[in-house]
Structure 1
Amino acid sequence: MDLNLRHAIKSNINGNDVSQLQATIVDAIESGEEKMLPGLGVLFEIYWQQASEDEKQAVLKGLEDAVN
């Protein structure tokens, strides 16, 4: 991913509150547009970088359950 795209996405969501972040995620998923996937990826990256090991394991378990 181009770092400029990552930076642009981070700039667009900087300062968003919980309801704005939720709306962004729901909109991206409901639209079904592949162009929204990089934004979700950046959100996940931001979360992952600050998550504790326990939080990461919980996410990984949830993902495993969801795909199986």
Structure 2
Amino acid sequence: MDLNLRKAIVSNIATNDQEQLEATIVDAIEDGEEKMLPGLGVLFELIWEQSDEQDKQDMIKALEQGVKDASGKA
């Protein structure tokens, strides 16, 4: 079976407004279900592709801090 997960995820949110997109992200994170991880990955990929270099560096710094906090090394 040929399933393009990226296309399916983008298709499912294509008509969502900002409020709906935020709700999708928050729900996925709060639910904590691993089946939501691919969708969050696709959303991150879309954000990354639309970001300039400064935004990318800011995201990397936030990610670094989040990893430290999550691992208890902050």
TM-score scaled by structure 2?
0.84
Whose relative contact order is higher, 1 or 2, with alpha carbons under 8 Å and at least 6 apart? 1
Identity %: 67
1:34 deviation in Å? 0.6
1:65 deviation in Å? 1.0
1:15 deviation in Å? 2.3
1:31 deviation in Å? 0.9
1:3–1:41: structure 2 CA closer, same or farther, 3 Å change rule?
A: farther
Larger Rg: 1 or 2? 2
Two-structure CA RMSD over aligned residues (Å): 1.3
TM-score scaled by structure 1?
0.91
1:3 deviation in Å? 6.1
Question: Which one-letter code corresponds to 2:29 in the other structure?
Answer: I
Provide the rounded CA distance (Å) in 2 between the counterparts of 1:66 and 1:53: 20
Number of matched pairs:
67
